[in-house]
Amino acid sequence: MAKMMTEFSLIQRYFSRHSSTAELLSVGDDAAMLTPPLGHQLLACTDTLVAGRHFPLNTHPHAIGWKSVAVNLSDIAAMGGTAHSILLALSLPQIDEPWLQHFSDGLYACCEQFGVKLIGGDTTQSPQLSIGISALGFVPQGQGIPRSGAQVGDLIVLSGTVGDAAYALAQLKHQPDSAQQPLRHRLDYPTPRCTLGQQLAGIASSMIDVSDGLAQDLNHILTASKVGAVIELDHLPLSATLQHLPESEKWQYALCGGDDYELCFTISPQHYYALRAQPLPVNIQVIGQIQAQAGLQLLHAGSALDTSVQNLYLNGYQHFA
């Protein structure tokens, strides 16, 4: 973008809270410069949020700032890494100062909560609001957790609860004004499971963060690891609101609802019992087990579901999208 005073002062005013130090050159240089800790590997990821596609148009700018950072920290956590810093590629239709103030407050709130610095970025004008964030993180050499490591007999474990963000989004479509609905914060302010992710480095055999829905994301692990899985519906961790929904509706939210940013990982039973003996930052729940037979098999109260019911639950997203 052509550099006008307004762009420089915008960066200065809203995106320069983390200044450079002796070890870290930050916003204001041509590139950030940092020193990786000895014996670690670098993790890098990026995610773009487009208004109306990745968050409802009426989302508060503070929440947009928080969520843009959170989804990237979640990706670093899903590798077993520790997030270090982010870069922000911001495309704005116009310079709206109150919007920028709320957005940067939300962005820095998430950075501060998880010990991450904004170390650079790019600011351009474009007809559509879009927020591209890249995150950098570190993981001890050889301890990063890929999607491809699941072994037959491993337990499948999930953090937190699933289906909440999709439920909140569906409610929003029915009642656009109801900002106060109980699960709206799960959609707007997802909590990346940073500490849990770090604890699992070198321990979990595979991991993914649940951004597109449990069934689809677990399927990425199964495909990458060339294994199958069996899941017990009764063991899916649900919030109180979801527990009270009719059976098929709640399983559809839990299996197909996106945007929860919980961690789904596989782990050997021995490592699991060792993990349980430690203090954990969030509830975790065993939901099933890895098996040799390909595909995802759903059980309800110990019995396999009919294929037609299983397909309904697994393809149910359109029902409430």
Residues interacting with Mg ion, by CB under 5 A?
30
Nearer to Mg ion, 3 or 244 (CB): 3
- Binding site residues, ligand ADP, CB under 6 A: 3, 11, 15, 27-30, 88, 90, 118, 120-123
Nearer to Mg ion, 11 or 236 (CB): 11
Question: 117-125 and 82-92 as β-strands: parallel, antiparallel, unpaired?
Answer: parallel
Least Å distance, CB 183 to ligand ADP, is: 31
Handedness of CA 31, 35, 37, 41 (dihedral sign): positive
Nearer to Mg ion, 11 or 78 (CB): 11
Report how far apart, in Å, the C-alpha atoms of 309 and of each of 1, 43, 251 are: 53, 40, 11
- Cα–Cα dist 30/146, whole Å: 32
Residue 226, phi then psi, degrees to nearest 5: 55, 50
DSSP letter assigned to residue 54: T
Least Å distance, CB 10 to ligand ADP, is: 8
Report how far apart, in Å, the C-alpha atoms of 276 and of each of 2, 155, 206, 227 are: 55, 13, 17, 25
Contacted by 15, from Mg ion, ligand ADP, none: CB < 5 to 8 Å by type: ligand ADP
Least Å distance, CB 119 to ligand ADP, is: 7
Least Å distance, CB 207 to ligand ADP, is: 29
Question: 295-300 and 206-210 as β-strands: parallel, antiparallel, unpaired?
Answer: unpaired
Residue with the CB atom nearest Mg ion in the bound state: 30
Nearer to ligand ADP, 122 or 247 (CB): 122
Question: 295-300 and 228-232 as β-strands: parallel, antiparallel, unpaired?
Answer: parallel
- Cα–Cα dist 21/8, whole Å: 21
Nearer to ligand ADP, 134 or 291 (CB): 134
Least Å distance, CB 197 to ligand ADP, is: 25
Least Å distance, CB 191 to ligand ADP, is: 23
Contacted by 227, from Mg ion, ligand ADP, none: CB < 5 to 8 Å by type: none
Contacted by 118, from Mg ion, ligand ADP, none: CB < 5 to 8 Å by type: ligand ADP
Beta-carbon count within 10 A of 151 CB: 13
Contacted by 146, from Mg ion, ligand ADP, none: CB < 5 to 8 Å by type: none
**Of 154, 313, 311, 147, which is closest to residue 223 (Cα–Cα)?**
147
Nearer to ligand ADP, 117 or 193 (CB): 117
